[in-house]
Structure 1
């Protein structure tokens, strides 16, 4: 028992034993600063400084933007940005997929390698047929003058007369002789119409230009998209008057007859008509 008490007193004495920390001038040995220290004071002071440093670091991490510079710590703002980018990426992927499908269908039309499928021609005729009973055919003076002027200038330069109606009328892109008829068995999904070079080619109906470029096989090609899934294709043109994205009206000049492309034998128009992805015979709807 006496030894334990003696040992405790010895530990207490060592902890409370006073030391002096002196800072001297190296040249003159003049005492500049001195501190009275003990082991207990040093231990307590060091512990408090450590606790204070830990508390300050915790506050900086929890309540200041400095935490974002700590490796492995994720920022809320960065998480939100990453989530937004993920949504945008998904949208872009879906849009790119749809665009690729659309372009592939256009390529198939240009190559003419879409297999002809059975088409209900009667329903297609009904779709593009105008009901005379729904149109007021009583001409006014101004209308009569306009009709006479148009008839003199261009027989087929007619615009849609029923602007509010749902039906459209197909007009001949040009007048000429049929040199090669529509023949699905030979994968010729078009009619070839011969005409003098530079003869104007007109739109068969109101629509939008979805393709207007040069191709090696069929020369200058222009494709129009009309309502109700109807697409008209004009190949081997000598020149193109419209660009992709432009809106055209029925009877408006969009190109001229030419002899361009590898697969051509003379000035002519290679004209195709597609309904909802299926090739149809243009002679069933247009009188060339």
Structure 2
């Protein structure tokens, strides 16, 4: 009888010890799993942080490239025009020709299908597809600060609008407006085309800049409905 009691005691002690040991092992496994989850989350956050930093670096580099491009256009204008003056002076000398109500670029330059939307990285404008030769209209009252040819974008027009706005019209078949010309909102300034090395078909690449920063044209153009 005593032997049976001893054996039962040993058995229950072993069971209790096993339960305690299993609980400790399970707790350790759970803690390890939790640490691995936290480590994985930290790695994902670090990865996202690195991706965001890379994206910001790319955006900064692209903006600098575009700014340099625009500065190059203005310098080209100053060198090529016989009596070139900076855009601000042109505006001041022609205030009576520019309406304060129509200088903001709110008019769609062409009617067509939007084949590529604005992106803050890599494509700071919209592509509007329309038949080649379609008249391109000024989005707002302004002054032409560049009208010429570039290898990548073909025939390009750039307008300066009072209030810090700049609009760009790329891949034209022909530019009609000339440097230093004052244009009104809705004036035909070019014909849509397929010029330039980067163009893959007849379309207008249209950009709006405000105080040196690219803007989404859809936030400005009141009559842009095609392609929605």
TM-score normalized by structure 2?
0.54
After superposition, residues 1-288 of structure 1 pair within 5 angstroms as 105=67, 107-108=69-70, 163=99, 168=104, 170-185=106-121, 187-286=122-221, 287-288=223-224
Ranges in structure 1 where 5+ consecutive residues have no aligned partner: 1-103, 112-161
CA distance in 2, matches of 1:244, 1:168: 20
Deviation string for 1:121-154 (max 9, x for gaps)? xxxxxxxxxxxxxxxxxxxxxxxxxxxxxxxxxx
- Give 1 or 2 for the bigger CA radius of gyration: 1
Ranges in structure 2 where 5+ consecutive residues have no aligned partner: 1-65, 74-97
Distance change in 2, residues 1:109/1:265 (3 Å) = farther
CA distance in 2, matches of 1:227, 1:192: 24
Q: CA deviation at 1:105?
A: 3.9
Count of residue correspondences: 134
**Alpha carbons 2:104, 2:161 under 8 Å: kept:** no
Distance change in 2, residues 1:164/1:259 (3 Å) = closer
Q: CA deviation at 1:168?
A: 4.1
TM-score normalized by structure 1?
0.43
> After the TM superposition, which segments of 4 or more aligned residues of structure 1 sit over 2 Å from their partners?
108-111, 162-169
Q: CA-atom RMSD, angstroms?
A: 2.4
Deviation string for 1:168-221 (max 9, x for gaps)? 461110100000100113x10010000000000000000000000000000000
